[in-house]
Amino acid sequence: MLLLVRGWVDGYNRGVDRTILVTNDDGIHATGILELKKSLEGLGDVVVVAPDRGRSACGHGITLHKPLRAHKVRMADGGFGYSCSGLPTDCIHIGVMELCGKRPDLIVSGINLGANLGWELTYSGTVAGAMEGAAFGIPSFAISVTTHEDGDIWELAGDFARYIGAELLERGMPDGMFLNVNVPPSPTDGTPKICLTRLGIRRYPGRVETRTDPMGRSYYWLGGDLPLDGLEDGTDLLAVSDGNISVTPVHLDLTAYSLIEPLADWSLGDFAPRAAESGAK
């Protein structure tokens, strides 16, 4: 008998006819999504809907003002996926509402080439895929490898994706929540620890290069500098810098609860619109 904890999105359809929707932000032809697809295939029917090109750092954007296309393409393992002209969030919408043919039981985004940690989560298209899954009330996780280098970087992440995917299918996930997972390259010695973490503080120094185009006008190029990480105990940043696997539960509720009470002491209640002021004259 199935016991439902109130407020939890259950991993329904357990064991039979499971559908797993997979996306990423590195594009449908990235190695990471192929590795993810292969890793999850034993858990259910995997439907890949992914951007037709790299969309890294697109955040939780959604395309509302132009039509989207999704074409069936052959992937490098001989299977098929849908190549979509939109962003990861669009891919989840089209996958859930149309291409899966039924409500998926699990949504996985990745495997991203490069970590997604701390305060940079909202920049990430990979994480946005899982955010959108959570917004649909479907158990979801995002998974990234913590390196950009070549080599044996996918095997451990693929194995862990399958492991945690099975857990999510079995246990479900509270509505509006998802997991953000970062996995180091396959270890040279032993098995890395699995750390349950909170988001750490990752700041980008905010470099802007100002240059001049051939017409003499300025243009600007952002980025280039490495982030500044706060390696506090219990954070995803510390776990990853120690070479461990980080699993962070994330909530779509971004409310700063600790600020609600202090804000009550502000003078916000004294606000009067201009119309009310002139009317009082």
Binding site for Mn ion (CB under 5 A): 25-26, 56, 112
Smaller CB separation from Mn ion, 54 or 174: 54
Q: Looking up tokens 């009310």, which residue turns up?
A: 276
Residue type, 138: I
CB nearest Mn ion: which residue?
A: 56
In b/e form, how buried is each residue of 238-273, taking b as 16+ CB within 10 angstroms? bbbbeebbbbbebeeeeeeeeeeeeeeeeeeeeeee
Sign of the Cα pseudo-torsion (87, 196, 46, 186, in order)? positive
Smaller CB separation from Mn ion, 38 or 55: 55
Smaller CB separation from Mn ion, 43 or 179: 179
Q: Looking up tokens 């990471």, which residue turns up?
A: 32
Q: Nearest approach, Cβ of 25 to Mn ion (angstroms)?
A: 4
Smaller CB separation from Mn ion, 9 or 113: 113
Helix (H) or strand (E) holding 142: strand 140-145
Q: Nearest approach, Cβ of 216 to Mn ion (angstroms)?
A: 35
Smaller CB separation from Mn ion, 4 or 122: 122
Q: Nearest approach, Cβ of 124 to Mn ion (angstroms)?
A: 7
Sign of the Cα pseudo-torsion (190, 233, 194, 36, in order)? negative
Record the tokens describing residue 215, joined without a space. 């017409």
Q: Nearest approach, Cβ of 182 to Mn ion (angstroms)?
A: 13
Smaller CB separation from Mn ion, 112 or 197: 112
Smaller CB separation from Mn ion, 18 or 202: 202
Q: Of 79, 107, 81, which is closest to residue 93 (Cα–Cα)?
A: 107
> Strands 70-74 and 201-203, how do they pair?
unpaired
Q: Nearest approach, Cβ of 148 to Mn ion (angstroms)?
A: 10
Q: Nearest approach, Cβ of 202 to Mn ion (angstroms)?
A: 16
Q: Looking up tokens 């039981």, which residue turns up?
A: 105
- Please state, in angstroms and rounded to a whole number, the distance separating the CA atoms of residues 71 and 52: 9
Smaller CB separation from Mn ion, 19 or 56: 56
Cα(first)–Cα(last) distance of the chain, in Å? 69
Q: Nearest approach, Cβ of 87 to Mn ion (angstroms)?
A: 12
- Please state, in angstroms and rounded to a whole number, the distance separating the CA atoms of residues 26 and 126: 8
Sign of the Cα pseudo-torsion (48, 52, 57, 63, in order)? negative
